[in-house]
Amino acid sequence: MTAAASASPGRRPATNVAAYLALAGMVTKTFLVYHWSAWVRLLQSLIGMVVFVYFWRAVYANSSTIAGLSLDATLSYILLVRIFQPLNNTDLVSEFGQQLREGGLAHLLVRPLDIQLAYYVQGLGTLLVDLGRQLPVVLVALLFFQLRWPTNPAVWAVFILSALLGRTVLFCLNYSLACVAFYTTSAWGLEFAVRGLATFLGGGLVPLAMMPDWLRLIVQATPFAQAMYVPIALLSGLTPLSAAPRLLLVQLAWLLGLAVVSRLVFAVALRRNSVQGG
């Protein structure tokens, strides 16, 4: 991701709507230029889905339910996780690391846009492109693994709202963690750790409902779970629709808190930054 940005959070008003929309539009052009990379990611998604389906079928070979979940319920959740995997994207850490290595941060900071909002808008554009790229994964799930979509419009409405809130929560968290790259010469280890945490704590490997009660309550309360597990559990039916108001309020609370924290963390990290490269 290559984002245009401003000098520091809050120093310049984020009123240049056309510029932010242009940033989002750049995502499509980047996708067309680097289409081979997109095809590789699509292949990874398809292979991952097949592997996960057969893995869970093997797990359920001698049991009809695990932690109260049937095979059909678990597979429905897993298939939806593979389809909506872009919700769990954590590339912002590697982006910050690249900008610091190449000295690009200095150029970003003098542009007349708010750096955090610019990254957020471009991230939404990337999310839409990535979700569109998942269409073949959807077809495979429907045709070969008999995925059944929810038919209740209220479920979809709650899912979309929860997914947007959760994605924004994860963005603010990633933005804060990415600032750690300001204090190191390599962000590779940090990127690997964040990606692993997002996958596990976000329910990308195992439905969080299968965890012991004490651990599940802790993990479900983390910001990582807000991006993937909360919306997918609502969409798949693992979480009843009646629980949606409480879960949405939790997501909103995380968003308000992390939005403030991410601005403060960036401001502090920026003061101590030593730009690498030319």
| pLDDT tens profile 126-166 | 898 889 889 999 999 999 999 999 999 999 999 999 999 99
Question: Is 277 contained in some domain?
Answer: no
When comparing pLDDT for 183 and 226, which is higher?
A: 226
With a cut of 60, say whether residue 2 has pLDDT above it.
Answer: no
Helix axes 153-178, 115-133, angle to 10 degrees: 130
pLDDT tens-place string over residues 225-266: 999 999 999 999 999 999 999 999 999 999 999 999 999 998
Beta bridge partners of 84: none
Question: Is 7 contained in some domain?
Answer: no
Question: Is 10 contained in some domain?
Answer: no
Looking up tokens 């471009």, which residue turns up?
Answer: 122
Q: Is 194 helix (H, G, I), strand (E, B) or coil?
A: helix
- Give how many domains the chain has, as a whole number: 1
With a cut of 90, say whether residue 183 has pLDDT above it.
Answer: no
> Which whole number is the average pLDDT over 37-64?
88
With a cut of 70, say whether residue 54 has pLDDT above it.
Answer: yes
Looking up tokens 């990337």, which residue turns up?
Answer: 126
Question: Is 166 contained in some domain?
Answer: yes
Question: Is 258 contained in some domain?
Answer: yes
Taking CA 217 as the corner, what is the angle to CA 169 and CA 83, rounded to the nearest 5 degrees? 50
Residue 232: give the domain boundaries: 17-271
Question: Is 1 contained in some domain?
Answer: no
With a cut of 70, say whether residue 213 has pLDDT above it.
Answer: yes
Question: Is 223 contained in some domain?
Answer: yes
Question: Is 75 contained in some domain?
Answer: yes
